[in-house]
Every structure is written in structure tokens, then in C-alpha cells.
Amino acid sequence: MDKKNKNQKNKEYSGGGVILLLQTKNKEKYIILVKRSDNAPVNPGTHSGFFGGVDDNNINEKSNPELIGARELIEEVCFTSKNHQKIYPLRIKTKSKISKEVLEYPKKHFIRLWNYEKKLNLGTDIKFIESQNNNKGIDYIENDGHKKIIVAQFNLNFNLNERIILDGETVCEDPPACLLDREVNVFNLKEFKNWWLYGKNGDIIRTKYSFQTGKKIKKGHIKRDEDKLSPSLVLALNKWWELTPSSYKIS
């Protein structure tokens, strides 16, 4: 084994997550971000991906950071039908096996929290949606160590006006008052990239859809001069597009 591969194998990760891309039934392409509240303890009012730290109870995550991304996505975001009876968690394809505990999270925790705290009456008809095979891994270093963000694309057999998106981020294990219920914002991918990299579309980029508390809400936006992207998202986006040919297209 050469030195480079040995170092890669022995690397331990402190965190990771997913930049979530969607292609809908009508071939529209989107990037999904969550907005932290204005009183959040870290990076208040900023947009971020589905990121988080390693689970100290799962030693496999430290050496297999794609498992961090898989867990964060399953825990933090879910599609539902408009009547909330059908539940669609998102699962990225991984080389390592995702634990049974993580795969059962929507049934055992996500649904229970939303029904208890928000009285949403979510159903129990659960069907995972799997990502495509062209996921990209982005490695970088922050203050607390190595991170790996997965850019994961999901091809959907529905359009977004037919579904609701729920945020599942929590601040505790058991209710009440665990769900953060962050704003989920959906941006056209091409418009977002042109806005971020090339300054097109002015200082403000507006969403195509916004969701919160189990329903669509007034469309959100990001203003460039107010530092409204989290530092981790900025690092990941810049590294991704630096490594991605300009001709790259979502399949």
C-alpha cells in the first residue's frame, strides 16, 4: 500500500453530511437547503446543507464518512404526500452498510416527533427514495477536523408541487420541544450556481418552493451581502464546483 492510500485509510472524520440535489418528474433540477432560525446558537439565520458531526456511538462513521451523510439525511429531511399519509425518506447509496437503527429512524422517531409536537398526523406508509450512482465526495478540513460532504442526486417520479418537505432536525432525544422545524428552501440548481459563482440574478436569489411546519410557505430568499450561507456550506460548494467541470450536468 502506498503512503497516500495508507493515509487515506487511516483518516478519521469528525463530521460530514449531504448537499441534496433533486431532479423532478418534469426534469427540473434543484438544490435543497435548510435555513436556521435567527436565534440559533450557531450561524443564526444562515442556510446550510444536511450536515452534522460524527456519531460517537458508531465507530464506523469515523472511517466511513458516507455513513454520516446517510444518517444525517435520513434523520433530517423527508417528503410526504400532501395529506401526510405517505412518507418518503431519502437514502444515499453507500459502499458501507447503513445500520438498522438509522434505517428505522423515520418509523420510530421522525413520525412520532412530528405527530406529538406538531399534531401533523403523519401516516406510516414509508417508502425510501434512493440516490443515483453519481454521488460526489468532497473532503475538506475545518477547525474540528476532517469533513466529507456527499453531493447526492435523487431522481424523483413526482414534481415538488405534489409533495411536502419536512425538516427533522432535533435538539433533544425525546419530546416535547425537540423539533427545530427549520425552513426548507428549494432553489433552481442552475440559477443558484450562476448566482453564487458568477454573480448573476443580482444580490438576491429566491426560492422556487419553501416549506415549514408541514405546508408550503411564502417563498424565501438569500441575500448575498449578509453572509447567509453557513461556513461549512460555503467550503463545500466552492470545493465541489472547483472540482466539477463546467460542462457537468445532472443526469
Q: In terms of pLDDT, which residue wins out, 100 or 43?
A: 100
Greatest mean pLDDT range, 2-6, 85-89, 224-228: 85-89
Half-sphere exposure of 125 (CA within 13 A, CB side): 6
In a domain, residue 219? The reply is yes
**Structure confidence at residue 3 (pLDDT):** 46
Mean pLDDT calculated for residue range 149-157: 97
In a domain, residue 190? The reply is yes
Mean pLDDT calculated for residue range 113-140: 94
Mean pLDDT calculated for residue range 110-128: 95
- How many domains, in total, are found in the chain? 1
Q: Confidence class of residue 58 from pLDDT cuts 50, 70 and 90?
A: confident
CA distances from 99 to 21, 80, 106, 189 (A): 23, 23, 13, 31
Per-residue pLDDT for 246 more than 80?
Answer: no
Evaluate whether 66 touches 96 at the Cβ level (below 8 Å). Answer: yes
Per-residue pLDDT for 230 more than 90?
Answer: yes
Q: Which of 13, 104, 17 is nearest to 60 (CA)?
A: 13
> Tens digit of pLDDT for each residue in 65-100?
999 999 999 999 999 999 999 999 999 999 999 999
In a domain, residue 3? The reply is no
SS3 of residue 226 by DSSP: helix
The whole-chain average pLDDT of the chain stands at: 90
CA distances from 17 to 39, 72, 88, 132 (A): 23, 6, 19, 16
Q: In terms of pLDDT, which residue wins out, 9 or 63?
A: 63
In a domain, residue 166? The reply is yes
> All 3 cell numbers of residue 144?
474540528
In a domain, residue 90? The reply is yes
In a domain, residue 249? The reply is no
pTM over 0.85: yes
| Containing structural domain, residue 130 | 11-243
Mean pLDDT calculated for residue range 179-193: 96
In a domain, residue 5? The reply is no
In a domain, residue 6? The reply is no
